[in-house]
Amino acid sequence: MNPLHTAELADKVKAKETVHLLDIRQEADIQDWAIGAENVIRYDIPFAEIKANPAKARNQLPKNDPVYVMCYKGKSAQTAVSLLEAAGMEEVVHVVGGMQAWGETMSPRKIGDLTYGGAIYQFMRIGKGCLSYMIVSNGEAAIVDPARFTEVYTSFANENGWQIKHVLDTHLHADHLSGGRKLAEETGAAYWFPTRDGKEAAFAFSPLEDGIRIPFGQQEEGMRCIASPGHTEGSISFVVDDTYLLSGDILFTESIGRPDLAGQAEQWVQDLHTTLYEKYPLLSLDLIVLPSHFSELSEIGPDGTVQARMEDLYRKNPRLQLQDAGEFIASVLGSIPAQQPNSYQLIRESNQGKETIAGSEEADVESGPNRCAVNS
């Protein structure tokens, strides 16, 4: 068996294949961030225990199915594989790059076509629960909420003969380092950022405000901005081709955005109620909601994407059934996760251009799961 790359692991998870995963990290690290899905059978055996008694560890693992060994960076897993093989195990290999590589694995999947020949693609960063988008119209592309791996977008655009004209962030991100400014600089594209989130930004940007349209491609397939505060004070959503709602971190397929990451939960939760109960209901219930994050691998659909119809979300999500503002506010404030995204304050500062993070430190700064939603 060859070592398993995280892109291959992602394909197995999306395809709902049964995966036997041996995680050899410390218990605290596993509790903080691990791969959890119905089709992933995980065996948590610390590396120290495998070194001490590989035969005992071998007996806790399946005999007739391949086992993939996961650590943080992929090095300890290689040693664990050697120990287990010496103990008589045959179908066992390490996951290349470990959880760090899992958190950086990203690939595009087509969501659908636009009315006049354009298309929209979802880029899924499966280990972080991050979603970004490329909207293509008349040979021009707009990128929404890009990750720091800008070469993924530029390569995809170049392969298809598209020119990246606009780069947009729906809000000031707190869980991952935005690739927005870097991508705009590399491609000569305009960089758009919410005006109210950019009050302390140390860089120039084109302001995103309620009601404006992003001028690119076939105008009928264009992007219309909707001010949708609540997760941040400046959060912006985009209606694309009157078919898709790019909801940022306001509305997810299983939850809604948390309002506390800048320490203003009491104020922002009221904005969140206004967005979800006054602004979004004015939009078509037939819109396909495309969020910028997901929390659980179970949110990935059979086609390998994360999406849902607006009507279905408003019918199924309990927090969209609370018409009384006071009841909604109490419910949200009582359901904010105790943990914030790892390094979220440093990430916010970096995404405002106020801090510089060395390239060698970016992966560790971003390490960890998505924590941008209230508990469902």
Classify residue 239: in a domain, yes or no: yes
The tens digit of pLDDT for each residue in 47-95 reads 999 999 999 999 999 999 999 999 999 999 999 999 999 999 999 999 9
State the alpha helices, DSSP H only, in the chain: 6-14, 27-32, 47-52, 54-59, 75-86, 98-104, 150-160, 180-187, 265-274, 310-316, 325-333, 344-351, 362-366
Give the pair of three-digit tokens for residue 19: 């995966």
Classify residue 216: in a domain, yes or no: yes
pLDDT, residue 217, reads 84
Residue 319 CB partners (closer than 8 Å, separation 6+): 255, 256, 276, 328, 331, 332, 374
Give the pair of three-digit tokens for residue 324: 């009384």
Classify residue 375: in a domain, yes or no: no
The tens digit of pLDDT for each residue in 239-293 reads 999 999 999 999 999 999 999 999 999 999 999 999 999 999 999 999 999 999 9
Tell me, yes or no, whether 181 and 322 share the same domain. yes
Classify residue 370: in a domain, yes or no: no
Tell me, yes or no, whether 156 and 55 share the same domain. no
Tell me, yes or no, whether 114 and 210 share the same domain. yes
In a 3-state reduction of DSSP, which class is residue 130?
A: strand
Tell me, yes or no, whether 253 and 267 share the same domain. yes
CATH code, domain carrying 117: 3.60.15.10
**Residue 138, phi-psi category: left (phi > 0), alpha (psi -120 to 50), beta (remainder):** left
- The single residue of 71, 130, 225, 372 carrying the catalytic annotation is 71
Tell me, yes or no, whether 96 and 167 share the same domain. no
Give residue 343's domain range.
106-360
Classify residue 366: in a domain, yes or no: no
Tell me, yes or no, whether 152 and 215 share the same domain. yes
Count of beta carbons in the 10 Å neighbourhood of residue 59: 12
Rounded-to-integer distance, Cα 323 and Cα 38, Å = 34
The tens digit of pLDDT for each residue in 92-133 reads 999 999 999 999 999 999 999 999 899 999 999 999 999 999
Q: Is 372 a catalytic residue?
A: no
Rounded-to-integer distance, Cα 324 and Cα 343, Å = 35
Tell me, yes or no, whether 152 and 91 share the same domain. no
The tens digit of pLDDT for each residue in 214-240 reads 988 887 778 999 999 999 999 999 999
The tens digit of pLDDT for each residue in 290-320 reads 999 999 999 999 999 999 999 999 999 999 9
Tell me, yes or no, whether 129 and 264 share the same domain. yes
Residue 185 CB partners (closer than 8 Å, separation 6+): none
The total number of structural domains in the chain stands at: 2
In a 3-state reduction of DSSP, which class is residue 39?
A: coil
Burial of 263 (0-12, 13-18, 19+ CB in 10 A): exposed
Tell me, yes or no, whether 81 and 119 share the same domain. no
For residue 124, the one-letter residue type is M
Classify residue 365: in a domain, yes or no: no
Tell me, yes or no, whether 183 and 271 share the same domain. yes
